[in-house]
Amino acid sequence: MNFALSPLDIGIIVVSLVAVVAVGLWAARNQEKTARGYFLASGRLPWYIIGAAFVSTSVSSEQIVGTVGAAYKNGMGIANWEWWLVPTYGLLTLVFVPMWLRNRITTVPEFLARRFGPLCADIYSWVMLAAYVFVFMVPVLYSGTLALTDLTGWNFHVVLWGMVAVIALYTTKGGLSSVIWTDALQCVMLVGGGVVLFFLALGKVPGGWAAMEAARPDRFHLCLPANDPSAPFPGIVLATFGVFIFYSAGNQVMAQRILGARSTWDGLMGVLWAGVINLLRPLVTCFLGLIVFHWTNVMHAAPPLENQDQAFPFALKYLAPDWGLRGVILAGFLAAVMSATSALANSTATIFSLDVYRRMFHPDANDARLVRMGRIASPAALVLAALIAPSVAHLGGVFRYFQNGVTYLATPFISVMLLGLLWKRTNYQGALFGLIGGSAITLAMALGAPAVGISLHWLYLAAIAQVITMAGIVIVSLRTPPPAENLWRPFHWTPAVLRQYDDGVRRPWYQSVLLWWSVYIVVWVYLYWRFW
């Protein structure tokens, strides 16, 4: 569904790309020439940058196209992927952020090494290095490039390699500083352009939101039945303690934004700010599909779509005005692709340099050598992913490819991390069972259930696998010697940790984390009450 771009649209896209590169190079100018400076921005990131980067990193091209299409087909329930964040972010804020920052860890593998042993860290490092390139980065590059070429008619390979070159330019130079500041700019572009498009499109519906809801009230519910194929609400709840918290806390790409915080307060407020921005995200990634459905199936202003994934390009072609908004939206779409990809490339470089190269090959490597290895690993990962990206079309499609991959990864890792933080008796042997045995359990569940005729949503399969894995960790840990106190004590979470979250700094009332979390929760509860 190609549509013409005006010179203004093209100019906006070009200016946005130049702005992203300029901000990335600007952020790198005063960076410390140390490994901590390159990989963690010297621990100087403020809360508002952390929150914006947290959002832009978690929104990618396949999510925008896929969720707009899913909302077109299934209704509002798909917004749970954006709004069901209070439990997940609450767990992240209460448990993970204080423990990460109090212990000044630089990577997730470092936590596993200090809590359990180097082999556990090595398993995470090698698995996630492969995952970031083959499971995360490949589908983002492929789907982003495919969507842009379908929308514009531009050459697939020119778009693909052009994006890789631009991303490598600033990511390689500035490390996390460049990545996170460009992420913040891209968050503004993505959310700002998407919200404008949503309201302009909604303005073309007589009666607006109320008319859409009155016409098909069955499509305006968040809490869908347990057997719903798109977003079963019980499955969403269970995923809070599995896939969702792994993606936000156990995933180096997301955790690295918090690990660079200038204080624990900035880390906590950064997560909260991300949650606030995410209240607007369905306007960008979901609700446009509701408008397109009303336009085609209720107003009959156009024939119903043959393919749900046509909903996003349909909105750009028929509901976006000609005065440059298409350029703004496509610039935001590019921003989603670039922010997710640059974050993955940066985290790949971080794990490779600090947890593979230094620990396994050169323990005495100085900062200059570690930074140099990071600057090699980052573009290498981008090039490898770009070479593989076109093959995704032959692997069952982007969404199945991505969802299955993340499900296999999340369960064993988050099982070990949760028990490692919450139960001091978790030991090295139990962690190894969780990582190795848990992977086998998850694969057996995901592949075996359909083979024997059991049809369950992947969220349920992941939850069952997680329960079995955690039970196995407990059994193995109890049947083997307990860990030494110096291993578990620094990472053992208790409620007392929360009283020390800001290192004794006294702040004015308007900077109270509890106050703003309370406001956020009230708004969130209202949304779920309103659209129950």
Instruction: Give the model confidence (pLDDT) of 103-158 as tens digits.
Output: 888 889 999 999 999 999 999 999 989 888 887 888 788 877 877 787 777 888 89
**Does residue 506 lie within any of the structural domains?**
no
Instruction: Give the model confidence (pLDDT) of 257-308 as tens digits.
Output: 888 888 888 989 999 999 999 898 898 888 999 999 999 999 998 898 888 8
**Does residue 322 lie within any of the structural domains?**
yes
**Does residue 63 lie within any of the structural domains?**
yes
Instruction: Record the tokens describing residue 395, joined without a space.
Output: 């692997």
Q: Which residues pair with 261 in a beta bridge?
A: 45
Taking the C-alpha atoms of residue 378 and residue 342, their distance in angstroms, rounded to an integer, is: 9
Instruction: Record the tokens describing residue 97, joined without a space.
Output: 């952020």
**Does residue 90 lie within any of the structural domains?**
yes
Instruction: Give the model confidence (pLDDT) of 430-468 as tens digits.
Output: 999 999 999 999 888 878 877 888 888 888 888 999 999
Q: Which residues pair with 273 in a beta bridge?
A: none
pTM confidence score = 0.86
CATH assignment at residue 313:
1.20.1730.10
Number of domains in the chain: 1
- Do 276 and 118 contact (CB within 8 A), yes or no? no
- Could you tell me the sign of the dihedral formed by the alpha carbons of 341, 344, 346, 348, in that order? negative
Taking the C-alpha atoms of residue 257 and residue 179, their distance in angstroms, rounded to an integer, is: 10
**Does residue 474 lie within any of the structural domains?**
no
The domain of 299 spans: 7-106+122-226+252-391
Q: Which residues pair with 224 in a beta bridge?
A: 232
Rg (CA), the chain: 23
Q: Is residue 110 classed exposed, middle or buried when 0-12, 13-18 and 19+ CB atoms within 10 A define those classes?
A: buried
Measured N-to-C along each axis, helices 156-202 and 325-351 cross at an angle, to the nearest 10 degrees, of 120
**Does residue 35 lie within any of the structural domains?**
yes
**Does residue 64 lie within any of the structural domains?**
yes
Taking the C-alpha atoms of residue 30 and residue 40, their distance in angstroms, rounded to an integer, is: 14
Measured N-to-C along each axis, helices 438-451 and 398-422 cross at an angle, to the nearest 10 degrees, of 140
What DSSP assignment string belongs to 62-95? Answer: HHHHHHHHHHHHH-GGGGHHHHTTHHHHHHIIII
**Does residue 261 lie within any of the structural domains?**
yes
180 by DSSP, 3-state: which? helix
What DSSP assignment string belongs to 115-176? Answer: HT-HHHHHHHHHHHHHHIIIIIIHHHHHHHHHHHHHHH---HHHHHHHHHHHHHHHHHHHHH
pLDDT in tens, the chain (532 residues): 556 677 888 888 888 888 888 888 787 776 656 676 777 666 678 999 999 888 888 777 667 777 888 889 889 988 888 898 889 998 998 899 888 888 888 889 999 999 999 999 999 999 989 888 887 888 788 877 877 787 777 888 898 999 899 888 888 877 777 778 888 888 888 888 888 889 988 998 999 999 999 999 999 999 988 888 778 899 889 988 888 899 888 888 888 888 888 888 898 999 999 999 989 889 888 899 999 999 999 999 889 888 887 788 888 888 877 777 778 888 887 887 888 888 888 889 888 888 888 888 888 888 888 888 888 999 999 999 999 888 765 554 444 445 555 667 789 999 999 999 999 999 999 999 999 999 999 888 878 877 888 888 888 888 999 999 999 999 999 999 999 999 999 999 988 877 766 666 788 888 888 899 999 999 999 999 999 8
Structure letter (DSSP) for residue 106:
S
